[in-house]
C-alpha cells in the first residue's frame, strides 16, 4: 500500500513538471537572445573593446565620461526626444479622436472595418522602403521640385533635405503616419470592452459626451494607454532607420535628425569600430527608457 502510494506520488510529481517543459523553449530563447545581450552590452560598456582589436581591457567609466563630454551625444538625446514627442502627441490625439468616432453609437459611421484597415496599412510597410520613397520625392530632381517649378511656385529646385525644419518634419510625419493606425486599433479594442451600461447610466444622469469621455472612457482606458505610451516610448528611443536613410546617415543637416541609435551606430562603425563606446550609448538609452517607462507606470497607475 505504501509502495503504491509512493509510486502514484512520484508519477504525479513528474507530471507537474510538464508545464516547465513547454515553457522551456521560451525561457532558453529569452536568456540567449534577450537577457544575455543586455548583460553583454553592460559589460562591454566598461571596456575599450574594438571591432578590429577583439577583446579589450577594463576602463571603468571612461566611455561614459567621454560620451557625456561629447556635444554630439546631448544633441542626439534632445533630437530623439523632440522627434518622438512631436510625432506621439498627434498620434495619440488623432487615434483617440478617430476611436471615439468609430465606436460612437450616435454617429454610426459606416464601413468602420474598412477605415481601420486603411489607417493600419502604413504599419505593414517597411520603414526602409518609406524612407527611400520620401528621399526620392524630396530629392533635388524629385517629383516635389518638379511639380513646384513647373507650376511656377518656386523659381528653381530646392535642397529640401538640407533644411533642418523640412528634415525633422518629414521624420515626424513618417513616424506618425506609420504608427497611428496601430494605435487606433489598440484604443478601439479598449473602448469596445467598456460596458455600454456605464454610458447609459451617465446619460440618464445628464452627462454630456465630454464628461463621459473624461470620467468613464479615459479612466477605463488606462491599461491600454500605459501599453501604448510604453511601447511608443521604446520604439521612439530606438528610432534609426527612417532618419538614417532619409539623409546621409549622419543626422544631417547639422545633426538635426541625429538620434540615439544613429550615434550608437556611428560609434560602432568608426575607424576602429569602438564597441565599448557604442555599448555605453546603448546602456544610457536603456536606463533612460527604463526610468521614463517606470514613471509612466507610476503616474498612470490605479490610485486607491
Residue at 257 is within a domain: yes
Q: Are 183 and 177 in contact (CB under 8 A)?
A: no
Residue at 137 is within a domain: yes
CB atoms within 10 A of CB 212: 18
Question: Which pLDDT belongs to residue 14?
Answer: 58
Residue at 28 is within a domain: no
Q: Are 265 and 281 in contact (CB under 8 A)?
A: no
Structural domain harbouring 288: 45-299
Residue at 304 is within a domain: no
Question: Which pLDDT belongs to residue 95?
Answer: 93
Question: Which pLDDT belongs to residue 301?
Answer: 79
Separation between Cα atoms, residue 51 and residue 277, nearest integer Å = 11
Separation between Cα atoms, residue 63 and residue 302, nearest integer Å = 40
Question: Which pLDDT belongs to residue 287?
Answer: 94
pLDDT in tens, 193-229: 888 888 888 888 888 888 888 898 899 999 999 999 9
Separation between Cα atoms, residue 196 and residue 238, nearest integer Å = 39
Residue at 54 is within a domain: yes
Separation between Cα atoms, residue 272 and residue 278, nearest integer Å = 12
User: Could you list the mean pLDDT of each consecutive 10-residue stretch along the chain, which spans 304 residues?
Assistant: 49 64 90 91 90 79 91 92 94 92 82 89 90 92 93 91 92 93 92 87 86 89 92 92 86 87 86 83 93 90 71
Residue at 240 is within a domain: yes
Half-sphere exposure of 273 (CA within 13 A, CB side): 7
Q: Which helix (H) or strand (E) holds 178?
A: helix 164-192
Residue at 149 is within a domain: yes
The alpha carbon of residue 157 and the mean position of all alpha carbons in its chain are separated, in whole angstroms, by: 34
Cross-strand bridge partners of residue 54: 50
Q: Which residues, 6 or more positions from 98, have their beta carbon under 8 angstroms from its beta carbon?
A: 119, 184
Q: Give the total number of structural domains in the chain.
A: 1
The CATH number for 140's domain is 1.10.3720.10
Residue at 154 is within a domain: yes
Amino acid at each position: 500500500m505504501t509502495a503504491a502510494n509512493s509510486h502514484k506520488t512520484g508519477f504525479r510529481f513528474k507530471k507537474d513538471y510538464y508545464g516547465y517543459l513547454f515553457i522551456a523553449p521560451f525561457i532558453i530563447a529569452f536568456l540567449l537572445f534577450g537577457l544575455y545581450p543586455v548583460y553583454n552590452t553592460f559589460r562591454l560598456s566598461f571596456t575599450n573593446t574594438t571591432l578590429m582589436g577583439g577583446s579589450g581591457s577594463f576602463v571603468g567609466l571612461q566611455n561614459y565620461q567621454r560620451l557625456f563630454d561629447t556635444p554630439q551625444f546631448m544633441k542626439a538625446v534632445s533630437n530623439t526626444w523632440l522627434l518622438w514627442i512631436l510625432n506621439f502627441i498627434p498620434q495619440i490625439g488623432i487615434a483617440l479622436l478617430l476611436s471615439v468616432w468609430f465606436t460612437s453609437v450616435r454617429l454610426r459611421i459606416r464601413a468602420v472595418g474598412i477605415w481601420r484597415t486603411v489607417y493600419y496599412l502604413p504599419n505593414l510597410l517597411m520603414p526602409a522602403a518609406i524612407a527611400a520613397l520620401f528621399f526620392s520625392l524630396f530629392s533635388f530632381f524629385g517629383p516635389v521640385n518638379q511639380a513646384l517649378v513647373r507650376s511656377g511656385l518656386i523659381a528653381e529646385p530646392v535642397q529640401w533635405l538640407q533644411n533642418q525644419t523640412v528634415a525633422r518634419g518629414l521624420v515626424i510625419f513618417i513616424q506618425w503616419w506609420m504608427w497611428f493606425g496601430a494605435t487606433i486599433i489598440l484604443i478601439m479594442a479598449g473602448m469596445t470592452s467598456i460596458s455600454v451600461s456605464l454610458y447609459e447610466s451617465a446619460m440618464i444622469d445628464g452627462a454630456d459626451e465630454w464628461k463621459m469621455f473624461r470620467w468613464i472612457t479615459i479612466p477605463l482606458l488606462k491599461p491600454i494607454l500605459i501599453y501604448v505610451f510604453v511601447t511608443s516610448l521604446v520604439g521612439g528611443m530606438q528610432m534609426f532607420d527612417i532618419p538614417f536613410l532619409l539623409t546621409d546617415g549622419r543626422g544631417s543637416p547639422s545633426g538635426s535628425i541625429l538620434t540615439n541609435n544613429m550615434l550608437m551606430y556611428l560609434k560602432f562603425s568608426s575607424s576602429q569600430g569602438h564597441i565599448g563606446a557604442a555599448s555605453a550609448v546603448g546602456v544610457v538609452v536603456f536606463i533612460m527608457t527604463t526610468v521614463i517607462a517606470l514613471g509612466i507606470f507610476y503616474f498612470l497607475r490605479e490610485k486607491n
